[in-house]
Amino acid sequence: MIAQSPCLFLSLLLWGSLALSTAIAEDVQLQLKNGDRVSGAWLGESEGRIRVQHPVLGTLSIPATEIASRVTNTAPRSTAPPVPVVAAKPTPPPKPPITPAPKHWNFDLQAGLDLGFGVTDRQLYNARARALYSKNRLRNTADYMFTFGEVDGKSSANRMDASMKTDYEIGSQLFLYDLGGAGYDAVRLIDLRYEVGPGIGYHAVRMDRFKLNLEIGANYQVHEFQDGKRSDSFFYRIAEDAAWRITPKLSVDQKLEVFPGISDLSKFRIRFEGNLRYALRNNLYLNLTALDTYDNQPASTVSNNDLQLRSSIGLKF
């Protein structure tokens, strides 16, 4: 018994040393895939989970699939397939918002008719097409109007007008313009008329909902009448045009041109146009137009003033 006691004591001492060595050797540090680290004493691995004794949190059971690597005090051992190390890509700077290309062309088409059948039969047809080109300081507007009508089989309207106006900005408010036009009016006995003239304009008001322009210049006009007579004269041109967007759907615009004679001081002419528009949907709108032309020296048997009221449906694009 006494002889065996030292052997027993040595055996216990040996096993204790091995256990202590094993405990020290199995202190482990786990690197998780989400970047966290867990340290503690190794308790074992079973059923796909690793158990670690954490000095503060106690026993932890961690799925092996969530562990990227583990390190003991002897050598690191990987518990999962190696994860390739990829260098973090620098965050690219935010892309600036894409600004749509400016729209240089705009078009406006109108068509209308007025029919009545009864004691008096009447038919009135009108059409209009406008094209606007704008780029940088340049603005060009082409306008074409046609009207034809009959009352009890007699012509009440047979008129065509075409014009082109070019504006060029020379400052924040001043601009130069050049105006040209041509047409005919069978009811007023004008076989052909044409005009041309330059001038200067001023943006008097430039608000989001209201705009007002003033213009002054010279104008050369020629009227060839059905009786063979011809009238050609130089005029001053004094004009204004305004546009007012009353509501998002309702707007009004007008233009007034006064032509006092230069070569013949006794002559003068006036042209007026007003439009009332109501938006229906998208680019479709209803339009009511008033056109008035005054000539103090018209063809014989023709009245000085000619007023026309038109209703139409318009399309902008």
Residue 189 has which token pair? 């006995």
Between 9 and 253, where is the model more confident? 253
Average pLDDT, the chain: 85
- Per residue in 108-121, pLDDT tens? 999 998 888 877 78
Q: What pLDDT, on a 0 to 100 scale, did the predictor assign at position 79?
A: 47
Between 302 and 11, where is the model more confident? 302
Task: Please give the DSSP secondary-structure letter assigned to residue 66.
Answer: G
- Per residue in 284-302, pLDDT tens? 999 999 999 999 989 888 8
Averaged pLDDT for residues 91-103:
77
pLDDT-derived band at 43, boundaries 50, 70, 90: confident
Task: Please give the DSSP secondary-structure letter assigned to residue 81.
Answer: P
Residue 75 pLDDT more than 80?
A: no
Q: How many residues does the chain have?
A: 317
C-beta of residue 269 within 8 angstroms of C-beta of residue 259: yes
- Per residue in 170-207, pLDDT tens? 989 999 999 999 999 999 999 999 999 999 999 999 99
Percent of the chain with pLDDT over 90: 55
CA distance 60 to 29: 13
Q: What pLDDT, on a 0 to 100 scale, did the predictor assign at position 238?
A: 98
C-beta of residue 262 within 8 angstroms of C-beta of residue 234: yes
Which range is least confidently modeled, 165-169, 193-197, 273-277, 297-301? 297-301
235 CB neighbour count, 10 Å cutoff:
23
Instruction: Map tokens 């439009």 to a residue.
Output: 275
Residue 6 pLDDT more than 90?
A: no
